[in-house]
Structure 1
Amino acid sequence: MNNTPLQLSLVASGMLTPLGESSAMTAASTLAGITAAQEYSLLNAQFKPFKLALVPDEALPPLQQELSHSAFLCQRQKRMLRLAHHALEQLKSSAQQANVALEGNTPLFLALPEKLYPYQQYLGNGFLSHLHLQTALAMDTSNSRLSAVGRAGGIHVLDLAIKYLQSGLGSQVLVGGVDSYLDPALLAQLDLEKRLSAEASMDGFVAGEGAAFALLQAHDGSGPGRIHPPGFGNEPGHRYSDQPYLGTGLDQAFKSAIANGSGLEKIHRIYSSMNGEGFHSKEYGVACTRSSAIFSDNVELHHPAEFYGDLGAASAVAMLCLDHQRRLKKEQGNTLIYASAELGARAAVCIS
């Protein structure tokens, strides 16, 4: 097995977000500054409407009958299956347009939500089986894997993709993420913690939903963008911890991703999973300050959750797809994408 760090190319993508039914539509909407946030009839504890960013029901494919009657799937999981189904159909279309064959033995590495509260179900390998049934996607289920670490999961699955391709087991891999906050119990818990955006809320996020998938191959020198091996860190003082919040986890992830960037001179764009909550600003400041030499003087900061809401476990792969759309339009420069989970996981990746 070759131990030289492998770089990846994104050759096709598919997305479904509150801003669009494809990667191109979502990218165009975010660049135009369009926001999907709306007030819905769901009320918080102060009887004020939640501000959410949701995919219209009519954009979702129907659930397979066998799954719709399953007692093992909650409503959130059923919606996630439908979100993922649409995004995978978009990826198939993108692959056809790029003249790339989606091989039947391609594994899927999928980012899923974290289990934060006792009442929540852990989404295990059964979710992959349900997704396979819903989509009829020909994939290598035996080598497919899940990463249930929320926002950071999309970068964790990039690491799995590199290791898989480096092993020589296959020539391409699917990575993706899917999530939805449209779950009354989850919204009620987040409201109890005063974390959601609503009238008179000064420090809340817009709960969103979506799915994003990318088809990756080993970089061969062609195509826009090289995805370098990612970097990881752990934040002991995360939101649900009693330990001091120092921002060291994201600092570790930045430094590791930059070191893996194979001689990057400067980074010109940052894509961030920040969602509007002030909590995330401290670690970003710490990480940027401690790696300031790598960032260009006019580095751009993009946090697309301000437009399509917090996509949770779909966040990192969505940002990967957005950066790819810019590269398809011949935009130059190096990018750093990072994502912070609710718990300790922190992850970053460089693209050149």
Structure 2
Amino acid sequence: MSTGAVITAAGMVTALGDTAASTTAAVRARLTRFREWPSYPCLPADPPRPEEPFSVVAAYTDLPRALDLPVRLLALALQDLATSADLARADLEDASFFLARPSPGPSAHHHELRDAFRERVADAAGVDAVTRGLLAPDGHAAMLLGLAHAARAVEADPGTPWIVAGADALVDVGLLEALDHARRLKSRRNLDGFIPGEAAAALLVEHRRRAEARGAPILAEIEGSGVGQEPQTVESGDPPSGAALAAALAAACAAGGPPAWVLCDLNGESYRAKEWGLARVRAPALLGGVRALWHPADGYGDVGAATGGCLAAACVRSFERGASPAGRAALFAGSGDGTRAAVCLVSAAAKRA
């Protein structure tokens, strides 16, 4: 059944573009922006080889200010959201916020940033309502969980819109060192890894009746959502089962049936690819007909807590432009703690058909 929740605006900043529109166009064109970053040399291969520059996707990185990136990026994403939807500052203040913070890191500065993230974003964006926002769990699934929460919230209270927002920048040297030692970073030493990136996204979720009353364009309807818990996490060393991901996608797509288009957080790690393959084996009737599989981390890198929001922004902007492979899309992402989240979005055109 329809939740009545719709997405009416999206903002996004990545290495591929400083707006949701430009990033999505780059994703559709399969552009990339990888470059070597000599500020952090990865651990040497075995047998040792000369140190290699580290590959990173970066548009705004300035090493002395790298830990402040998520705040600056999210302020830009909120500005894109407001500009694209012609929203005033008062409109943002009237909304409730669901906020995904940057990934945890080992440094004291990183912990300080996470602890004060709401206040710092509020100062940078000039929106006090951010300080009253709910904080999401960590990881890739955070913003998809936020969309599911916002959909339930606007159905219960149609008069209050929600802004689901998040940012991350996986370029903190301490975090890079931890990921490198865990063999998670892609390098000459470790081909089974990911290239880190930086991004922020923000989505406006409101009830269809409220959107129609104010004449807002409806970019997508949140048709359904699902959550699962994978027991064999990426850091466990054991292969995933795929059961939790299959269950989350089944719940998200229960109302509309099998999706033809899937957007996901595959990032180059074989663990995630295996999990997707196993989920398809477990649910062939649901996932066997997928014709288009988008994994934008190929272009802008792994963007941590911003992942789910960037997937959703790319989806709804493609709907808006009439450039989507299908009128319905399933989105999924998995966090390091085993949380698997999925959301099904339907375009306004497909809803009318």
Counterpart Cα distance in 1 of 2:187 and 2:92: 45
8 A Cα contact 1:251 1:283, kept in partner: no
Counterpart Cα distance in 1 of 2:257 and 2:253: 10
Matched, 1:176 2:137: no
Structure 1 counterpart of 2:294, which letter? Answer: H
2:223 pairs with one of 222, 225, 228: 228
Partner of 2:47: none
Partner of 2:14: 17
1:102 Cα offset (Å): 2.4
Compare 133-142 and 207-216 and name the one that shifted more.
133-142
Structure 1 counterpart of 2:31, which letter? Answer: I
Partner of 1:192: 181
Structure 1: runs of 5 or more not aligned:
59-73
Partner of 2:84: 94
Compare 35-44 and 166-175 and name the one that shifted more.
166-175
Matched residue count:
329
8 A Cα contact 1:267 1:333, kept in partner: no
In structure 2, the CA distance between the partners of 1:159 and 1:273, relative to structure 1 (3 Å rule), is same
Structure 2 counterpart of 1:121, which letter? Answer: H
In structure 2, the CA distance between the partners of 1:124 and 1:36, relative to structure 1 (3 Å rule), is closer
Residues 76-115 of structure 1: matches in 2 within 5 Å? 77-96=67-86, 102-115=91-104
Counterpart Cα distance in 2 of 1:75 and 1:335: 37
Deviation readout 1:299-320 (Å, 9 max, x if unpaired)? 2111000011001110111010
Secondary structure in structure 1 of the residue aligned to 2:75? helix
Deviation readout 1:88-135 (Å, 9 max, x if unpaired)? 111110111x89982422111012244476976386663212211121
Counterpart Cα distance in 2 of 1:161 and 1:124: 22
1:140 Cα offset (Å): 6.2
8 A Cα contact 2:67 2:172, kept in partner: no
Compare 167-176 and 15-24 and name the one that shifted more.
167-176
Deviation readout 1:121-177 (Å, 9 max, x if unpaired)? 3866632122111211142643x1011321000111112212322332743110012
What value does the CA root-mean-square deviation take over the aligned residues?
Answer: 2.7
Counterpart Cα distance in 2 of 1:218 and 1:245: 37
In structure 2, the CA distance between the partners of 1:148 and 1:118, relative to structure 1 (3 Å rule), is farther
Partner of 2:266: 274
Q: Which runs of 4+ in 1 moved over 4 A?
A: 74-77, 98-101, 116-120, 122-125
Secondary structure in structure 2 of the residue aligned to 1:229? strand
Counterpart Cα distance in 2 of 1:210 and 1:236: 28
Partner of 1:247: 242
Matched, 1:28 2:20: no
In structure 2, the CA distance between the partners of 1:162 and 1:297, relative to structure 1 (3 Å rule), is closer
Partner of 1:308: 300
Secondary structure in structure 2 of the residue aligned to 1:351? strand
Counterpart Cα distance in 1 of 2:225 and 2:107: 31
Secondary structure in structure 2 of the residue aligned to 1:12? strand
2:311 pairs with one of 314, 319, 344: 319
Structure 1 counterpart of 2:295, which letter? Answer: H
Secondary structure in structure 1 of the residue aligned to 2:318? helix
TM-score with structure 1 length normalisation?
0.85
Partner of 1:203: 192
Deviation readout 1:276-335 (Å, 9 max, x if unpaired)? 111111211122222222346352111000011001110111010101111112244210
Structure 1 counterpart of 2:278, which letter? Answer: V
1:218 pairs with one of 202, 207, 232: 207
Counterpart Cα distance in 1 of 2:237 and 2:56: 29
Counterpart Cα distance in 1 of 2:115 and 2:204: 20
8 A Cα contact 1:271 1:302, kept in partner: yes
Counterpart Cα distance in 2 of 1:245 and 1:140: 36
1:200 Cα offset (Å): 5.9
Secondary structure in structure 1 of the residue aligned to 2:235? coil
2:123 pairs with one of 130, 133, 153: 133
8 A Cα contact 2:170 2:196, kept in partner: yes
1:161 pairs with one of 142, 146, 150: 150
Counterpart Cα distance in 2 of 1:85 and 1:140: 11
Secondary structure in structure 2 of the residue aligned to 1:256? helix
8 A Cα contact 2:2 2:222, kept in partner: no
Counterpart Cα distance in 2 of 1:266 and 1:104: 38
Structure 2: runs of 5 or more not aligned:
45-50, 347-353
Secondary structure in structure 1 of the residue aligned to 2:12? strand
Q: Percentage identity across aligned positions? A: 28
In structure 2, the CA distance between the partners of 1:15 and 1:238, relative to structure 1 (3 Å rule), is same
In structure 2, the CA distance between the partners of 1:13 and 1:100, relative to structure 1 (3 Å rule), is farther
